Amino acid sequence: MEPLVITVAAVGAELTLGRQPNLPVTPEALARDAAECAAAGASIYHLHVRDENAEPTMSVERFRAARAAIEVATDLIVQFTTGGAVTDPEDARLAPLDLAPEMATLTTGTVNFGDGVFFNPVPLVARIYRRQMERGVFPEYEIFDAGMIATALHLRRELDADHHMHFDLVLGVPGALPAWEDALPFLVGHLPPGATWSATGIGRSHLAVAEQTIALGGHVRTGFEDVLYFAPGELATSNAQLIERVAALARRAGREIATPGTAREMLGLRPRPAIP
């Protein structure tokens, strides 16, 4: 099996500092967090940013500062969110792509998200995808429900996009596809030949999904965005703690841990671009 690429979803947009006091918020804290994550085995840093009140924001300047800090501190692939928070307007979600990050997410369908709605009508998804192609940004398709795989493939054809296909399968968001045991094999069975994939389980399902993913040959996403607790009643102390656990599971299963360089090769990424 391929070496395991670990993505850290370190910040998120739907959780508060009150619920997870160890959340990295400032560029300095993000750089420290990223360095710890890299040492623990992460390759990709999935980035949301916060404002001076630790509220989620899609401010381009905040993304610029956060990305610069992480890229100075580490060799990690910085992956911008284009999902933002469920309350973010369309233009705000697109704006940080002007910084031409190495990689960014692309959710290919609308889905209930707790009490909110993660709004992704096809014209908006196409707009984000087109902007990513114009800026040379590698997309990671975020799949919260099965139909999103079909939409990703449909849009790829429509836009005549030509890049390696990488999917992140997100199970267990309330209102989206639950982390049923047969969900992951079903989704993976519908991915196109040659695609790579990672998966994450939200909340309680997190560990079971990580173990199943490692066994199936996929890659793993972890981090505060997806899981707040290390064990029942025990808050995770850092993103690195969550990564160390995944890396230990992988080694036990005979999988090596990918470096950012290996991950870049697997995904077909060009060398890290400068911040414009």
Residue 43 binding ligand KMH, by CB under 6 A? no
107 binds ligand KMH (CB under 6 A): yes
Would you say 45 or 255 has its CB closer to ligand KMH? 45
DSSP 8-class letter at 188: H
Residue 8 binding ligand KMH, by CB under 6 A: no
85 touches, from ligand KMH, Zn ion, none (C-beta below 5 to 8 Å by class):
ligand KMH
Q: Which of residues 132-191 bind Zn ion (CB under 5 A)?
A: none
**Is 85 among the residues that bind ligand KMH (CB under 6 A)?**
yes
Q: Specify the stretch interacting with ligand KMH by CB under 6 A; choose among 29-37, 78-86, 197-205, 233-241.
A: 78-86
C-alpha–C-alpha distance, residues 181 and 109, integer Å:
23
Does residue 142 touch ligand KMH according to CB under 6 A? yes
Cα 69-71-75 angle, rounded to 5 deg: 145
CB under 5 A: which stretch of 73-81, 93-101, 143-151, 255-263 binds Zn ion? 73-81
**Under the criterion CB under 6 A, does residue 119 sit at the interface with ligand KMH?**
no
Binding Zn ion (rule: CB under 5 A), the pick from 81, 108, 151, 198 is 81
How many residues comprise the chain?
A: 276
- Per-residue string for binding with ligand KMH, 144-163, x by CB under 6 A? --------------------
Separation CA 196–CA 188 (nearest Å): 9
When asked if residue 105 is in the footprint of ligand KMH (CB under 6 A), the reply is: yes
Burial class for 91, CB neighbours closer than 10 Å (0-12, 13-18, 19+): exposed
Strand stretches in the chain, DSSP E: 6-9, 42-47, 49-50, 56-57, 77-80, 103-107, 111-113, 116-118, 138-143, 166-171, 196-201, 219-222, 229-231, 234-235
Residues 5, 85: Cα–Cα separation, whole Å: 25
Residues that bind Zn ion (CB under 5 A): 81
Residues that bind ligand KMH (CB under 6 A): 13-14, 81-83, 85-86, 105, 107, 113, 118, 142
